[in-house]
């Protein structure tokens, strides 16, 4: 008689809800009445991983190991994975794990045949800060909505920034890096540019000045390295290794931990860019990519209504393009309800209830689960490290019964590899030659500087008398100055490129 058959009827009904016939990821084994039952595995069907998910729980309850466990199995089944490594302890996925009594004990409890294994990994870093291939975006690609979030602009200022982007587009002023955007805003707030403000409507000098000061402060904090060229091609997140396993792209973020708003918004840019590139495929046998969005609450904090609506739409629509998104945070209440409603797969680790606010968060979390035979308030506060409450979508798309689960142990190294090893992996990457060296070509800053040479005040000659001939307008100056001719010298310039606008107002070259 199997272990599953010895369970009480209620537990057998739970176990039956996870008896999938197709390919699936093994999370662990059912916990019931204080015991772990390896004959009652808890799993997630591979095809429903594009229906998104949530991994939540208090600090120290095992969320990171859950990410690692899921990422390993996705890679093994040929699905590329993206991991945001906030604390720097996911790089070990590239190396086989170390056997230990604790690992072997956990494997025996859940019926796991544990074998140490490393997985194909690519290490990335925002702007090259840290150990990784530099991930950069152009200002144009990032777009006004996401940039407004990073700059912490209000709704009026966000709309004004959108007008500035539109102005730059219409004048052929490419926004590659921060100095390009700052140059355009500085021009619009200058004596020469104030007339242009009237032409684009709704943008006051005062608001443009606020944006300029925000950009200057942002750059002074060392943020300039994140914007520029070569821009990272998100198609590189969709690769598989020669042996057919999915590549795990690990974005190393410890170097920017003190800039959480930046990296959370940058992750949203990656997702929005993927949304544009990928074709509609509907439901498939397996996802094209599963994207883990760690510290998800940072994305939603103080977000504008337009920004939240864009996130909700992106998450809703990207499913049909074969991309699954898992938000990782402490409690479900960190995620807006419209987004939470789209997260069909849930792994909820333990919650603490030490304060009145903790109690409220616990009650709110319980309400987000389907009806259950468990006392979830009691269960969620009593789970141990590496245990979770699970509910996923079945192969037919229906929610499975809530299952208390003891999770399997990852087979890769549960900890970071040292910096020297990461650097060697980066140097040996096929992506290194494409992205390692920053490129600073002619763009808005250079073009505006060329059009408006600024001599030092002491050396500047007295103003010449105005000629009777009427000065050409700014548009005439731009068109006749050679600005546009200089664009033609590069394949990747404004002339001839097609611009697409995403839900976030981003724009980029078609690849």
The pLDDT tens digits of the residues spanning 162-203 come to 999 999 999 999 999 999 999 999 998 888 887 887 777 768
Q: What per-residue string of b and e applies to 176-200 under the rule 16 or more CB within 10 Å gives b?
A: bbbbbbbbbbbbbbeeebeebbeee
- When comparing pLDDT for 202 and 280, which is higher? 280
Tell me: the pLDDT tens digits for 224-239? 889 999 999 999 999 9
- Is 337 within 8 Å of 331 (Cβ atoms)? no
| Confidence at 452, pLDDT banded by 50, 70, 90 | low
Q: Is the pLDDT of residue 390 over 60?
A: yes
Q: Is the pLDDT of residue 249 over 60?
A: yes
Tell me: the pLDDT tens digits for 85-111? 888 889 999 999 999 999 999 999 999
Architecture of domain 3-119+246-417: 3-Layer(aba) Sandwich (3.40)
- Is 348 within 8 Å of 340 (Cβ atoms)? no
| Confidence at 507, pLDDT banded by 50, 70, 90 | low
Domain ranges of the chain: 3-119+246-417
Average pLDDT over residues 8-14: 94
| Confidence at 310, pLDDT banded by 50, 70, 90 | confident
pLDDT at site 223: 84
Q: In the block, which residue shows the tokens 């190393």?
A: 252
Query: Distance (Å, rounded) from C-alpha 381 to C-alpha 502?
Result: 42
| Confidence at 506, pLDDT banded by 50, 70, 90 | low
Average pLDDT over residues 471-495: 36
This prediction's pTM: 0.85
* Burial status of residue 58 (CB atoms within 10 A of its CB: 0-12, 13-18, 19 or more): buried
Mean model confidence pLDDT for the chain: 86
Q: Is the pLDDT of residue 79 over 80?
A: yes
Tell me: the pLDDT tens digits for 36-46? 999 999 999 99
Q: Is the pLDDT of residue 243 over 90?
A: yes
Q: Is the pLDDT of residue 495 over 90?
A: no
- When comparing pLDDT for 283 and 411, which is higher? 411
Average pLDDT over residues 40-69: 95
* Nearest by Cα to 56 from 329, 251, 280: 329
Q: Which residues, 6+ apart, have CB-to-CB distance to 474 below 8 Å?
A: 171, 192, 193, 195, 196
């Amino acid at each position: 008689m199997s272990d599953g058959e010895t369970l009480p009827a209620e537990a057998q009904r739970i176990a039956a809800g996870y008896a999938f016939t197709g390919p699936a990821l093994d999370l662990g084994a059912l916990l019931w009445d204080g015991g772990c039952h390896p004959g009652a595995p808890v799993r997630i069907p591979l095809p429903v991983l594009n229906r998104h998910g949530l991994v939540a729980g208090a600090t120290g309850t095992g969320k990171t190991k859950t990410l690692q466990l899921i990422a390993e199995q996705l890679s093994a089944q040929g699905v590329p994975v993206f991991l945001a490594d906030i604390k720097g302890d996911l790089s070990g996925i590239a190396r086989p794990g170390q056997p230990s009594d604790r690992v072997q004990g956990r494997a025996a409890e859940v019926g796991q045949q544990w074998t140490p294994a490393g997985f194909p990994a690519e290490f990335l870093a925002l702007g090259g800060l840290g150990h990784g291939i530099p991930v950069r975006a152009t200002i144009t690609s990032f777009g006004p909505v996401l940039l407004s979030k990073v700059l912490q602009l209000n709704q009026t200022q966000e709309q004004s920034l959108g007008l500035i982007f539109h102005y730059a587009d219409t004048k052929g002023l490419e926004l590659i890096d921060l100095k390009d955007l700052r140059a355009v805003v500085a021009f619009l707030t200058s004596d020469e540019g104030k007339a242009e403000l009237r032409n684009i409507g709704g943008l006051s000098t005062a608001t443009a000045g606020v944006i300029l000061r925000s950009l200057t402060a942002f750059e002074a904090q060392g943020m300039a390295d994140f914007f520029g060229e070569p821009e990272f091609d998100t198609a590189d997140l969709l690769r598989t290794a020669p042996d057919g396993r999915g590549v795990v792209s690990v974005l190393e973020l410890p170097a920017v931990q003190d800039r959480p708003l930046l990296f959370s918004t940058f992750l949203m840019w990656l997702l929005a860019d993927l949304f544009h590139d990928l074709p509609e495929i509907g439901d498939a046998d397996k996802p094209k990519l599963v994207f883990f969005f760690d510290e998800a609450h940072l994305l939603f904090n103080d977000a504008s209504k337009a920004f939240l609506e864009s996130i909700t739409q992106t998450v809703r629509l990207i499913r049909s393009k074969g991309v699954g998104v898992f938000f990782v945070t402490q409690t479900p209440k960190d995620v807006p309800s419209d987004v939470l409603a789209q997260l069909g797969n849930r792994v909820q680790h333990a919650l603490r209830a030490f304060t009145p606010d903790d109690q409220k968060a616990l009650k709110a979390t319980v309400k987000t689960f389907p009806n259950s035979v468990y006392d979830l308030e009691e269960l969620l506060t009593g789970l141990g490290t590496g245990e979770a409450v699970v509910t996923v979508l079945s192969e037919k798309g229906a929610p499975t019964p809530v299952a208390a689960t003891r999770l399997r142990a990852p087979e890769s190294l549960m900890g970071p590899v040292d910096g020297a090893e990461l650097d060697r992996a980066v140097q040996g990457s096929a992506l290194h030659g494409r992205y390692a060296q920053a490129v600073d070509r002619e763009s808005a800053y250079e073009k505006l500087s060329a059009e408006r040479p600024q001599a030092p005040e002491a050396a500047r000659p007295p103003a010449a008398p105005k000629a009777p001939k009427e000065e050409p307008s700014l548009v005439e100056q731009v068109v006749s100055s050679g600005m546009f001719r200089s664009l033609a010298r590069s394949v990747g310039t404004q002339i001839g490129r097609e611009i697409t606008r995403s839900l976030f107002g981003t724009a980029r070259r078609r690849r």
